[in-house]
Amino acid sequence: MARKKAAKKSSKRDPERADRYKRIAIGSAIVIGAGAVFVGAAMGVGELDRRAGEFIVPTNPSVMIDWPTDADGSIWMPINDRETLSRDLARAVQGGKALSRAPLEEAGLALMRSGWIQGTPRVRWTSDGEIEIEAQWRIPVAAVRVGTREIVIDRMRHALPLDYGIGQSNQLYFVHADARQPAIGEQWLGTDLQDGLELLFALERANLLEQVAGFDLGEAEESGTIRIITTRNSKIIWGAGPGRERPGEVPTSVKTGRLRVFYEKTGLIDGGFQYIDISGPTMTKMRAEG
């Protein structure tokens, strides 16, 4: 019995599918080459740019940003600031050839200049000719009051591009920081602000931040002596920053323990006093007049 001849596979391809696969392949290669801009390893960038030049989009490339979210998955960055950053990135990539390196460079550098991110962003082309950006975002934790403004900072004291009137930032605040206000994206210098943030984190770990409005870092001869300002506008003298206690001061664990006792007995971390000094072995208390 004669064997049937195997059917010959068609050599024809779907032109649209083939073109899409080609775009994906080139797009992936560009990510590796363009990474040189941000991680320092370039391989065959000239050839990639030459091949990418064959693909031109009729409009400027769109930029997709992986916006920062909270634990619930909600974007926390204010809409006005998102729109401003989106406009800056759109301007940065105007006139860029699809899949070429230059728009990736411009988008990455624009994001780094914004002051919003830590480290280096990951910027790449998608197979659809769009620019996709992933970054480690700086998260607001507090504000520093300078004159009539509140400048928002992250955990590492970087000044963020968020500037509000007094009481409008919705952040715990610091007053009387020693160092001058830095440029956006730069770190705020001074051990007093660093100590203030360490105290904020210590109270956060102890679940004692709910009734805290801000921190007075002290000025002149009292610089470095931190006062906790409560939501009742009472003052709690804390002393030096956590781990930097001066002679005669009790450690952080004792201070937070005192606040915990006040809270458990009265429901207030200040114990109902207008002024209280918890820094030394003996506490000083004063109730409001009248």
The answer to whether residues 179 and 147 belong to one domain is yes
Interval 32-46 mean pLDDT: 38
Mapping DSSP to helix (H, G, I), strand (E, B) and coil, where does residue 189 land? coil
Read off the tokens for 90. 């759109």
Instruction: Tell me which DSSP letter residue 62 carries.
Output: P
Could you tell me where the DSSP H helices lie in the chain? Answer: 15-34, 36-39, 45-52, 79-92, 101-113, 191-205, 252-266
* pLDDT tens-digit series, residues 161-212: 999 999 999 999 999 999 999 999 999 999 999 999 999 999 999 999 999 9
* pLDDT tens-digit series, residues 57-68: 555 778 888 899
Read off the tokens for 84. 């401003």
| Boundary (domain end) residue, out of 88, 116, 137 | 137
Q: Which domain holds residue 156?
A: 142-286
Strand order in the sheet with 142-146: 159-165, 149-153, 142-146, 173-175, 212-216, 226-230, 235-239, 275-277, 284-286
The helix (H) or strand (E) run that includes residue 214 is strand 212-216
The answer to whether residues 38 and 119 belong to one domain is yes
pLDDT of residue 96: 58
Read off the tokens for 184. 């956006």
The answer to whether residues 182 and 248 belong to one domain is yes
pLDDT of residue 180: 93
Residue with tokens 């990455």, as numbered in its chain: 108
**Residue type at 173 in one-letter notation:** Y
Q: pLDDT band at residue 287, thresholds of 50, 70 and 90? A: confident
197, burial (CB in 10 Å: exposed 0-12, middle 13-18, buried 19+): buried
Report phi then psi at 70, rounded to 5. Answer: -90, -170
9 is a domain residue: no
| Boundary (domain end) residue, out of 87, 114, 137 | 137
pTM summary value? 0.75
7 is a domain residue: no
**R_g over Cα of the chain:** 28
